[in-house]
Amino acid sequence: MKKPLPSINQAAQILQAGGIIAYPTEAVYGLGCLPDHLESIEKLLHLKQRPIEKGLILLASDLSQLSEYLSPIAPKILAKLQASWPGPNTWILPTPDTTPTLIKGDFNTIAVRISAHPLVQQLCQLCQSPIISTSANITGEAMSYSPADVRSHFGEQLDYILPGELGDSDKPTVIIDALSDEVIRL
């Protein structure tokens, strides 16, 4: 792992303390917090005006960070995931009943991605945890492509905005049901 930049360290410390940050992803700025800070997830959903029923995405730097949120994965499915990761592919997978509703919404599945974005990778490694991810905008409004866009949506309501370049994707990641191969979002 490269030596983390001070801004990455600051973002990780804020996440670990229960904060909510905005950060660059493969295509847009995302909002996030750590999945074990349920009050932070509630606040994030409120800020974004996102219904709890919809669920959220978990980003990780490796599959082991997602293990407590995933039901056992068949070898054939696992091979498909590993062939697409790290990268801009979000997969829907079964999740145990113990996964909080704040994360999974009204589903018995969860959306997960092993991100190829270097800042997301470093954040997950520094926090030793996956990160909640949802686009950094009010639900139904324009996506955020810069810290200025994030500030226009949320003003000073976030604990930190991590500066950085977006990845090479020109639209949010594809979301696919790993069991049926149904494309949920192109």
Where exactly are the structural domains of the chain?
Answer: 6-185
- The token duo for 121 is 């990778």
Q: Whole-angstrom Cα distance, residue 144 to residue 147?
A: 8
- The token duo for 91 is 């997969």
Residues 6+ apart with CB under 8 A from 8: 119, 122, 123, 126, 162
Mean pLDDT score across all residues of the chain: 94
Question: How many percent of the chain have pLDDT more than 70?
Answer: 97
Per-residue confidence band for 124, with pLDDT thresholds at 50, 70 and 90: very high
- What pLDDT, on the 0 to 100 scale, is given for residue 142? 95
Question: Is CATH 3.20.20.70 correct for 6-185?
Answer: no
- What pLDDT, on the 0 to 100 scale, is given for residue 171? 84
Strands 57-60, 109-114: pairing is parallel
Q: Which residues are bridge partners to 29 per DSSP?
A: 24
Per-residue confidence band for 5, with pLDDT thresholds at 50, 70 and 90: low
Residue pLDDT, tens place only, 46-62: 999 999 999 999 999 99
Closest-CA residue to 81 (of 111, 119, 103, 36): 111
Q: Which residues are bridge partners to 90 per DSSP?
A: 175
In this prediction the pTM is 0.93
Residue pLDDT, tens place only, 128-174: 999 999 999 999 999 999 999 999 999 999 999 999 999 998 888 89
pLDDT at 19 over 80: yes
- The token duo for 69 is 């949120």
Per-residue confidence band for 2, with pLDDT thresholds at 50, 70 and 90: low
**Which strands form 160-161's sheet, in the order they lie side by side?**
160-161, 21-24, 29-32, 131-135, 57-60, 109-114, 89-94, 174-177, 183-185
Closest-CA residue to 21 (of 112, 142, 140, 126): 126
Per-residue confidence band for 79, with pLDDT thresholds at 50, 70 and 90: very high
pLDDT at 81 over 90: yes
Q: Tell me the mean pLDDT in the region 71-86.
A: 96
- What pLDDT, on the 0 to 100 scale, is given for residue 22? 97
